[in-house]
Protein backbone atom coordinates (compact mmCIF):
# COMPACT_ATOMS: atom_id res chain seq x y z
CA UNK A 1 0.00 0.00 0.00
CA UNK A 2 1.30 3.46 -0.94
CA UNK A 3 0.76 6.21 1.64
CA UNK A 4 0.87 9.85 0.64
CA UNK A 5 1.10 12.47 3.39
CA UNK A 6 -0.23 15.90 2.60
CA UNK A 7 0.34 18.50 5.30
CA UNK A 8 -1.73 21.67 5.33
CA UNK A 9 -0.54 25.03 6.62
CA UNK A 10 -2.63 24.59 9.79
CA UNK A 11 -2.49 21.38 11.78
CA UNK A 12 -5.93 21.63 13.41
CA UNK A 13 -7.52 18.43 12.10
CA UNK A 14 -6.24 15.17 10.64
CA UNK A 15 -8.23 13.47 7.87
CA UNK A 16 -7.50 10.26 5.98
CA UNK A 17 -8.66 8.80 2.72
CA UNK A 18 -7.68 6.79 -0.31
CA UNK A 19 -8.66 5.00 -3.45
CA UNK A 20 -11.33 2.34 -3.92
CA UNK A 21 -8.97 -0.65 -3.80
CA UNK A 22 -6.94 0.67 -0.82
CA UNK A 23 -3.57 0.69 -2.59
CA UNK A 24 -3.23 4.45 -2.15
CA UNK A 25 -3.93 6.00 1.24
CA UNK A 26 -3.40 9.60 2.24
CA UNK A 27 -3.43 11.73 5.37
CA UNK A 28 -4.20 15.44 5.45
CA UNK A 29 -3.63 17.70 8.43
CA UNK A 30 -5.48 20.99 8.59
CA UNK A 31 -8.67 22.35 7.11
CA UNK A 32 -8.78 22.30 3.31
CA UNK A 33 -10.59 24.86 1.14
CA UNK A 34 -13.59 22.98 -0.29
CA UNK A 35 -15.75 23.85 -3.31
CA UNK A 36 -17.95 22.47 -6.05
CA UNK A 37 -16.42 22.58 -9.53
CA UNK A 38 -18.85 22.62 -12.46
CA UNK A 39 -16.31 22.98 -15.30
CA UNK A 40 -16.60 20.57 -18.19
CA UNK A 41 -13.12 19.14 -17.54
CA UNK A 42 -14.01 18.13 -13.96
CA UNK A 43 -17.32 16.68 -15.15
CA UNK A 44 -15.55 14.49 -17.69
CA UNK A 45 -12.72 13.51 -15.32
CA UNK A 46 -15.14 12.40 -12.58
CA UNK A 47 -17.96 11.09 -14.75
CA UNK A 48 -20.36 13.18 -12.69
CA UNK A 49 -22.29 16.45 -12.95
CA UNK A 50 -19.63 18.25 -10.88
CA UNK A 51 -16.59 17.60 -8.71
CA UNK A 52 -16.24 18.39 -5.01
CA UNK A 53 -12.63 19.36 -4.36
CA UNK A 54 -10.69 19.91 -1.12
CA UNK A 55 -7.59 22.07 -1.67
CA UNK A 56 -4.63 21.72 0.65
CA UNK A 57 -0.88 22.20 0.48
CA UNK A 58 0.91 19.67 -1.68
CA UNK A 59 3.28 16.89 -0.78
CA UNK A 60 6.26 15.74 -2.75
CA UNK A 61 4.70 12.31 -3.36
CA UNK A 62 1.91 11.81 -5.88
CA UNK A 63 -0.15 8.96 -7.22
CA UNK A 64 0.07 8.14 -10.93
CA UNK A 65 -1.11 11.12 -12.95
CA UNK A 66 -2.00 12.28 -16.43
CA UNK A 67 -1.87 15.72 -18.00
CA UNK A 68 -5.55 16.57 -18.51
CA UNK A 69 -5.12 20.01 -20.09
CA UNK A 70 -2.34 22.50 -20.80
CA UNK A 71 -2.71 23.86 -17.23
CA UNK A 72 -3.65 20.84 -15.08
CA UNK A 73 -2.89 17.25 -14.21
CA UNK A 74 -4.99 14.66 -12.42
CA UNK A 75 -3.78 11.95 -10.06
CA UNK A 76 -5.35 8.52 -9.90
CA UNK A 77 -4.73 5.04 -8.56
CA UNK A 78 -2.88 2.98 -11.17
CA UNK A 79 -4.53 -0.21 -9.86
CA UNK A 80 -8.24 0.66 -9.61
CA UNK A 81 -8.39 3.96 -11.55
CA UNK A 82 -9.98 6.00 -8.74
CA UNK A 83 -9.59 9.73 -9.43
CA UNK A 84 -7.75 11.27 -6.46
CA UNK A 85 -6.18 14.66 -7.18
CA UNK A 86 -6.13 17.76 -9.34
CA UNK A 87 -3.19 20.14 -9.45
CA UNK A 88 -2.17 23.13 -11.55
CA UNK A 89 1.30 23.77 -12.93
CA UNK A 90 0.99 27.42 -11.85
CA UNK A 91 0.33 26.42 -8.21
CA UNK A 92 2.68 23.55 -7.43
CA UNK A 93 2.28 24.10 -3.68
CA UNK A 94 -1.41 23.07 -3.71
CA UNK A 95 -3.33 19.95 -4.59
CA UNK A 96 -7.06 19.24 -4.63
CA UNK A 97 -8.31 15.91 -3.33
CA UNK A 98 -11.69 14.57 -4.39
CA UNK A 99 -13.88 14.84 -1.29
CA UNK A 100 -15.50 11.47 -2.03
CA UNK A 101 -12.14 9.76 -1.44
CA UNK A 102 -11.93 10.89 2.21
CA UNK A 103 -12.81 8.24 4.80
CA UNK A 104 -15.14 10.70 6.54
CA UNK A 105 -16.15 13.47 4.11
CA UNK A 106 -19.02 14.68 6.32
CA UNK A 107 -17.08 17.67 7.69
CA UNK A 108 -15.87 18.85 4.27
CA UNK A 109 -18.77 21.06 3.21
CA UNK A 110 -18.26 23.13 0.03
CA UNK A 111 -17.99 26.88 0.59
CA UNK A 112 -18.37 28.13 -3.00
CA UNK A 113 -18.90 27.14 -6.64
CA UNK A 114 -16.26 27.26 -9.35
CA UNK A 115 -16.85 27.05 -13.10
CA UNK A 116 -20.36 28.35 -12.46
CA UNK A 117 -21.06 29.38 -16.05
CA UNK A 118 -20.73 25.69 -17.03
CA UNK A 119 -23.08 24.43 -14.29
CA UNK A 120 -25.74 22.07 -15.60
CA UNK A 121 -29.19 23.66 -15.31
CA UNK A 122 -30.59 20.75 -13.27
CA UNK A 123 -27.82 20.82 -10.62
CA UNK A 124 -29.31 22.50 -7.55
CA UNK A 125 -26.75 21.87 -4.79
CA UNK A 126 -24.84 24.88 -3.55
CA UNK A 127 -26.95 27.44 -5.43
CA UNK A 128 -26.88 29.75 -2.39
CA UNK A 129 -23.05 29.75 -2.24
CA UNK A 130 -20.75 32.31 -3.93
CA UNK A 131 -20.04 31.68 -7.63
CA UNK A 132 -16.76 32.02 -9.54
CA UNK A 133 -16.20 31.42 -13.24
CA UNK A 134 -13.33 29.91 -15.17
CA UNK A 135 -12.18 31.00 -18.62
CA UNK A 136 -10.87 27.55 -19.48
CA UNK A 137 -13.00 25.16 -21.54
CA UNK A 138 -11.80 21.89 -22.98
pLDDT digits (tens, 9 = 90+) for 3-31: 555 544 444 689 999 999 999 999 999 89
39-66 pLDDT, tens digit each: 999 999 999 999 999 999 876 566 788 8
Query: According to the 3-state scheme, what is the secondary structure of the chain?
Result: CEEEEEECCCCCCEEEEECCCCCEEEEEECCCEEEEECCHHHHHHHCCCCEEEEEEECCCCCCEEEEEECCEEEEECCCCCCEEEEEEHHHCCEEEEEHHHECCHHHCCCCCEECHHHCCCCCCCCCCCCEECCCCCC
Amino acid sequence: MDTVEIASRTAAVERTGGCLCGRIRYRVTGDPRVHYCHCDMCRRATGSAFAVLAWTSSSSQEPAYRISSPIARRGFCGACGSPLTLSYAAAEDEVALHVGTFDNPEGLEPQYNYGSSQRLAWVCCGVDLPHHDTEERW
